[in-house]
């Protein structure tokens, strides 16, 4: 715990919508919106198991988060995407506020959070966003939202983009 800050990630990860991720193997083109809820719940269970393991607060590499820090990030991704999906379902073409994941990790002191509490919060956040994705009807898949950097998502592309993050971070901690 109390590790040095990680160098901020400045990549635009939207490329995962166009080609498979060479690291984790995620292929966005294979994802159906109707399957996102179940996939999210399954990943949350994997995260719960990760957080029950030994040494979850230890960074295996100085330039990578610990299991706990990644889990906090994934919990917050679940919460953020739930809020953004709600906006897309409620409003026409909402613009999403910027989210600085690295600033959040520092401000919320991810490294010092309690693993059991994070696991419970992550499961809750996963269930909420999964339920919201389950509520989306096919005629809504084309609804749009705009990220603060100008990236435009439909609910369909948003769902595919969303799943990569928690899956990729499971690969990171494996």
Confidence of residue 3 (pLDDT cuts 50, 70, 90): low
Confidence of residue 7 (pLDDT cuts 50, 70, 90): confident
User: For the residues 23-35, what does the mean pLDDT come to?
Assistant: 96
Q: What is the largest CA-CA distance in the chain?
A: 47
Identify the structural domains of the chain with CATH numbers, from first to last: 32-173 (1.20.120.450)
How confident is the model at residue 72, as a pLDDT? 98
How confident is the model at residue 22, as a pLDDT? 96
Tell the burial category of 17 from Cβ atoms under 10 Å away from its Cβ (0-12, 13-18, 19+): middle
Confidence of residue 2 (pLDDT cuts 50, 70, 90): very low
% of the chain exceeding 70 in pLDDT: 96
Confidence of residue 87 (pLDDT cuts 50, 70, 90): very high
Confidence of residue 23 (pLDDT cuts 50, 70, 90): very high
- Which residues does residue 153 pair with via DSSP β-bridges, in sequence order? 145
d(CA 18, CA 135): 26
List the end-to-end C-alpha distance of the chain, in Å, as a whole number: 19
For residue 58, pLDDT over 90 is answered with yes
pLDDT tens, residue by residue, 103-146: 999 999 999 999 999 999 999 999 999 999 999 999 999 999 99
How confident is the model at residue 5, as a pLDDT? 65
For the chain, the average pLDDT equals: 94
How confident is the model at residue 4, as a pLDDT? 62
d(CA 133, CA 123): 15
């Amino acid at each position: 715990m109390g590790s040095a800050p990680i160098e901020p990630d400045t990549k635009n990860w939207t490329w995962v919508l166009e080609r498979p991720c060479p690291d984790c193997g995620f292929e966005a083109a294979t994802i159906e919106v109707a399957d996102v809820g179940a996939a999210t719940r399954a990943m949350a269970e994997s995260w719960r198991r990760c957080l029950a393991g030994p040494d979850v607060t230890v960074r295996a590499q100085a330039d990578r988060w610990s299991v706990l820090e990644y889990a906090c990030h994934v919990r917050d991704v679940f919460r953020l995407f739930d809020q953004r999906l709600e906006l897309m379902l409620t409003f026409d073409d909402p613009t999403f506020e910027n989210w600085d994941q690295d600033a959040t990790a520092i401000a919320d002191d991810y490294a010092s959070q309690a693993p059991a509490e994070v696991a419970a919060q992550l499961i809750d956040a996963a269930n909420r966003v999964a339920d919201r994705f389950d509520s989306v009807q096919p005629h809504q898949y084309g609804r749009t939202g705009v990220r603060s950097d100008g990236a435009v998502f439909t609910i369909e592309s948003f769902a595919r983009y969303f799943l990569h993050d928690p899956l990729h971070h499971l690969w990171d901690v494996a």
